Amino acid sequence: MARECDERMWNLAYRLAQSGAHQNYQAIEWELGASGFRRARQLLDHKRVREKLDGMCAEARAIRERLVVPSTRCGSEPQQSPADNARAL
């Protein structure tokens, strides 16, 4: 049972790192703890694991920043996505 829980935690930790939504391993550790993984701090208490997660977070954030669409095009008004238009209704 504990092994399955640890495995779920590792999978979630890597998905969180790859999402680009977290700054570093500490943010992931906090998120895991808030999600009920009480052993998160203990399992992430290894330098190589922390370095790996930090690297994954940095890479994912860099990719995410490159994919952001500029807010204006050639001085025209900012473009809204269909989702933004739906929220405005």
Domain map (residue ranges) of the chain: 2-67
User: How far is 41 from 13, CA to CA, in rounded Å?
Assistant: 12
Residues 6+ apart with CB under 8 A from 25: 17, 44, 49, 50, 53, 54, 57
Quote the pLDDT of residue 2. Answer: 82
pLDDT in tens, 3-12: 888 899 999 9
Quote the pLDDT of residue 12. Answer: 96
User: How far is 31 from 14, CA to CA, in rounded Å?
Assistant: 12
pLDDT in tens, 25-78: 999 999 999 999 999 999 999 999 999 999 999 999 999 888 765 665 555 555
This prediction's pTM:
0.71
Task: Answer with the residue of higher pLDDT: 89 or 46.
Answer: 46
Quote the pLDDT of residue 65. Answer: 84
